[in-house]
Amino acid sequence: MLEASTLQFLKELTKNNDRVWFDAHRDTYQIAMKDMQSFTSTLIAALTPIDPGLEGLEAKACIFRLFRDVRFSKNKLPYKTNLAAYLAKGGRKSARAGFYIHFEPNGKSFFGAGIWMPETPALQAIRQEIDYNWNELNQLVIKPSFKKLFPAIEGERLKKAPKGYALDHPAVAYLQLKSFLVTHPIPDALLTQKELLKTLQSYCVAAKPFLDFLNRNFD
């Protein structure tokens, strides 16, 4: 669970996204980050039995910075209004598919799993795996326990079939994807409840076979 003060900080930051306000509340920010690190550490420990690749992973290697890079963005607000972490071997900089937690008040929190915009060699390897083992992936994503949480595989997609694949391929809808993601919303009320840890753990268990499929060529 997160502390209510952490969510309150994010709510106030959303209304006061500027450096003057942030500098005046830097102590509150640091308390919120310690809370996020504590929860992330607990979640990593809870997930290590089902994903040994997380063993020894430190929370600070998984948590994203709050400070935005605005150099090439039209949005010049200096801070993100969420706390997020990517749990995979190697942390947030990992090229592997992993688990993602995104905490943002006002109904914007969610759990995610998968891989976002992999580099060309990894993308080609995933597409090849889908081509060779389409039935395996199909059985995984239509499994009731999976589909109940994750109704669809999300991600930006090509308008046509990728090079080397036919448009009538039975898995073309998946071969067209540039990212392979599943998400599930997290209600605000759950964020400060003890059940948050077990709930996220159950989401990770359900998503793990999907990650294993995507990561097959990383092992």
Q: Would the pLDDT of 219 be above 80?
A: no
**Which CATH fold would you assign to the domain 4-214?**
BirA Bifunctional Protein; domain 2 (3.30.930)
Distance CA 156, CA 166 (A): 19
pLDDT digit string (tens) for 17-36? 999 999 999 999 999 999 99
Distance CA 195, CA 199 (A): 6
Distance CA 209, CA 215 (A): 10
* Residues 6+ positions from 34 with CB-CB distance below 8 Å: none
Alpha-carbon distances, residue 183 vs 128, 150, 201 (angstroms): 24, 6, 14
Which pLDDT value is given to residue 145?
92
pLDDT digit string (tens) for 60-75? 999 999 999 888 888 8
- The domain spans of the chain are 4-214
* Residues 6+ positions from 188 with CB-CB distance below 8 Å: 7, 105, 106, 107, 109
Which pLDDT value is given to residue 207?
98
Q: Is the pTM of this model over 0.85?
A: yes
Q: Which H or E run contains 68?
A: none
